[in-house]
Structure 1
Amino acid sequence: MNKLCKAIGGYLVELDSREEQNFVTGFMRAHDKYNAYTGGNDIRREGTFVYYNSKKPMPALKWRPGNPNNWNSNEDCVQIWWKDLNDITCSRRDKYICEISF
């Protein structure tokens, strides 16, 4: 997914604040989209979420209740699920959001 974003000059979205999270989820809902991958992941160290592109730690954002939970020891990527975040397997084929800086 991140490779596909890079191919168009961007990267998987990095939610830098709750305000940005609210903006992105509002945009998604306005277009009848309710889940999509972000650039967040804890692949290198379980429980330490960083972004693929910048390698910056993820800020305190709004997660779904009970998440992140690393269900089945196989959830290292972060998706938007409705308006909250959810950890999910990285291999699932699903929608994703690219961010492009101008």
Structure 2
Amino acid sequence: MGMELLSIDSVEEFDKIHTLVKEKMEYRNGLMIWTAGAMKDVDQFYWMNTGNPVLSSRWHPGEPNNGYGNSHCMQIWIKNSTFLFDDTQCSNKRFFICQSKKT
């Protein structure tokens, strides 16, 4: 379909995605959604599709923490009613949001 996993390059874009998820999905604690974020270096995440660094201010407290030593992929996680980023194992099953490829 010519799409790729979601990347978020601004606070405004993050807020738009947050609104979209509230409107289109069952907004609940424990909801996890894949993004195009991946660890490039220890605790340094970048968007796979743009190469841009991930906004550091939008992580859950204590994240990224590279849990189990292999949390190299990035998700949006609703925890304690808070919509923020989290690192997790790439093999986990999650919902996902795709976007048109940026040109």
Task: Flag whether TM exceeds 0.5 (same fold).
Answer: yes
Q: Which residue of 2 aligns with 1:95?
A: 95
Q: Which residue of 2 aligns with 1:32?
A: 26
| Runs of 4+ residues over 3 Å off in structure 1 | none
CA RMSD of aligned residues (A): 1.7
Query: Normalized against structure 1, the TM-score is what?
Result: 0.81
Is the 1:74–1:88 contact (alpha carbons within 8 Å) kept by the matching residues of 2? yes
Is the counterpart of residue 15 in structure 1 residue 12 in structure 2?
no
Matched-pair identity in %: 29
Alignment of 1:53-68 (within 5 A): 53-68=49-64
Q: Which residue of 2 aligns with 1:3?
A: none
Is the counterpart of residue 80 in structure 1 residue 82 in structure 2?
no
Structure 1 counterpart SS, 2:87: strand
Aligned length: 94
Tell me how far apart the structure 2 counterparts of residues 50 and 86 of structure 1 sit (CA, whole Å).
Answer: 13
| Bigger fraction of residues in strand | 2
Structure 1: which 5+ runs fail to align?
1-7
Structure 1 counterpart SS, 2:54: coil
